[in-house]
Amino acid sequence: MMLSQVNGQGMTVIAVSRSPRHSFTKPTQDSIRLVAGLGVEGDAHMGETVKHRSRVRRDPTQPNLRQVHLIHAELLDELRGTGFAVAPGDMGENVTTRGVDLLGLPTGTRLHLGETAVIEVTGLRNPCVQLDRFQPGLMAAVLGRDAQGGLVLKAGIMAIVLVGGELRPDDPIRVALPPEPYRPLVRV
């Protein structure tokens, strides 16, 4: 984990997005409001129980561990470098960050966003075929392999809202790691 992750240097919100509809992309906004225990105000995925359609079909009573979706802008840079046309919000994220190794965070990490909001990282976004419907080949582009050959899911992380607040582009991010031993992120 990079030192800047712990001391907060250079970690910022690049964009914020929401959509009241279950659409793949989410339009960027001047600001969004995070609501404790629910998610992003006005977003289709807001709620105590799961709102993602495939999960609702399986069990609509399961807790919503996917209240806020975050993607690192460095992934968007990487994808653009390989020919994809992607911008903040295009892959359905609510918060686009820069300077935070989101995929390297352990489960339970708390991210302090802006002046008051606090979210807790619950796990990895599970990439789905909607990525390929958006742009052919995008799903394969957000999958990688680690040094041991294990699958790496690069399509962002999910979190729940512990403390609400307004969030805007250029807001700072501060990382608070959970107590050790750290638990790696898994799909949620």
Write down all domains in the chain, each with its CATH number in brackets: 3-176 (2.40.33.20)
Exposure class string for 145-174: b at 16+ Cβ within 10 A, else e: eeeeeeeebbbbbbbbbebbbbbebebebb
pLDDT category at 9 given cuts 50, 70, 90 is low
Query: How far apart, in whole angstroms, are the C-alpha atoms of residue 78 and residue 115?
Result: 30
53 vs 61, higher pLDDT: 61
The predicted-structure confidence for 127-164, as pLDDT tens digits, reads as follows: 988 999 999 999 999 999 999 999 999 999 999 999 99
Note if the bond before 106 is cis, omega within 30 degrees. Answer: no
Percent of the chain with pLDDT over 90: 85
pLDDT value, residue 57: 84
Check whether 95 has a pLDDT greater than 60: yes
Percentages helix, strand, coil for the chain, rounded to the nearest 5? 15, 30, 50
Check whether 8 has a pLDDT greater than 70: no
Check whether 60 has a pLDDT greater than 90: no
Query: How far apart, in whole angstroms, are the C-alpha atoms of residue 109 and residue 82?
Result: 31
Query: How far apart, in whole angstroms, are the C-alpha atoms of residue 1 and residue 182?
Result: 12
pLDDT value, residue 164: 98
- What integer best gives the mean pLDDT of the chain? 93
pLDDT category at 90 given cuts 50, 70, 90 is very high
Query: How far apart, in whole angstroms, are the C-alpha atoms of residue 113 and residue 170?
Result: 10
The predicted-structure confidence for 66-76, as pLDDT tens digits, reads as follows: 999 999 999 99
